[in-house]
Structure 1
């Protein structure tokens, strides 16, 4: 199991910056689906950014690569004023699990990487689903204080609890899972050519 070096950290940071830009574009696109779009926005990001996560896995291929990615994303969102402790916790725990699944070997199977991506992005989704289910009032008060209206929070909580919450988790996982196969389809020739050149 190889650990990250300085050059790997720089590579992951640069790719995470691109991931973050696409994440925000995907988040805006998700608003077309209303409050449920907010609940599944990490999945839309996972679908769009599968190519980035695939590239990180094949180009870096070191343990904690996804944990570093998630940490950078959380820091950037916190700088923007969108940091939220439960979200950080669920996201970081999921990122560590994703690394355990797919970062202990340099070139994990595509399905294994897809599972890791699913877990990685479900962790982000749980940042609103878990508070909605277990400490709704404090969650609601926190975000109303940040500028959300009570009506907006009620709509988002409705889409993150009960059957809708379960559906959101499933949709996020499936979209993020599929994103890796999209990335594989786009990049497999590129990496096959690199391997031939190296040989």
Structure 2
């Protein structure tokens, strides 16, 4: 299994920074949807950044690429004051699974890359959903102590707990898969040197 080189790390860092720009854009796009939009924001980001995810899989194609990308994003979020241990854990687990699915080489089938993106971004979404399911009170108190109003937290929890957590998960996964196929459609003429079947 090939290891990441310095040039790979630099490329992933640059693309992760670009990914974060689109993440911030997605937050603006979903703002009118309120707390529900926030609960699926990583799916909207994934839809916008499917080409970045696909590009990484084609240009690097080494195990650890998605974990490094996710780690960089988590560090940047922490710098902005949004760091949260359960979010870090679910995000990194999602990225690890994504690497197992689609980081064996740089010619993975587009379906595998799309599936990896789905898991990667569900990992991000579960940073709010898992706490809402399993340790709601401490989750609520944590973010209120950070400055969120009780009313805002209750609205957010409404869309990440119970059945709505499942709905949000499905939406994030679907948007993430769609984003990679959109990215594939945009980039394949520029990147593909070998024929690969459309899924």
TM-score by length of 1: 0.95
Distance 2:183 2:91 in 1: 22
Instruction: Map 1:41-190; keep pairs closer than 5 Å.
Output: 41-190=41-190
Report the 3-state secondary structure (helix = DSSP H, G, I; strand = E; otherwise coil) of the residue aligned with 2:62: coil
Classify the secondary structure of the residue corresponding to 1:42: helix
User: Equivalents in 2 of 1:141, 1:29: separation in Å?
Assistant: 28
Offset from partner CA, 1:85-104 (integer Å, 9 cap, x none): 00000000000000000001
Distance 1:139 1:57 in 2: 34
- Matches of 1:59 and 1:105 in 2, distance apart? 10
Q: Deviations over 1:45-101 (max 9, x none)?
A: 110010000111111111100000000000000011100000000000000000000
Write out per-residue CA displacement over residues 97-127 of structure 1, whole angstroms, 9 at most, x where no aligned residue: 0000000122100000000000000000000
Q: Which residue of 1 aligns with 2:197?
A: none
**CA distance in structure 2 between the partners assigned to 1:144 and 1:46 by the alignment:** 28
TM-score by length of 2: 0.95
The DSSP-based 3-state class of the residue aligned with 2:160 is coil
Higher helix content, 1 or 2: 1
CA distance in 1, matches of 2:67, 2:17: 14
Q: What's the CA shift string for 1:131-168, capped at 9, x where partnerless?
A: 01111111111111111100000000010011111000
Please, which runs of 5 or more residues in structure 2 have no aligned partner? 195-199
For 2:68, what is the secondary structure of its paired residue? helix
| Structure-2 residue corresponding to 1:3 | 3
Tell me, in whole angstroms, the C-alpha distance in 2 between the residues paired with 1:13 and 1:72: 7
1:33 aligns with 2:27: no
Once structures 1 and 2 are overlaid, which stretch shifts more, 157-166 or 83-92?
Answer: 157-166
What SS does the aligned partner of 1:148 have? coil
Unpaired runs of at least 5, structure 1: none
Tell me the number of residue pairs that the alignment of Structure 1 and Structure 2 aligns: 194
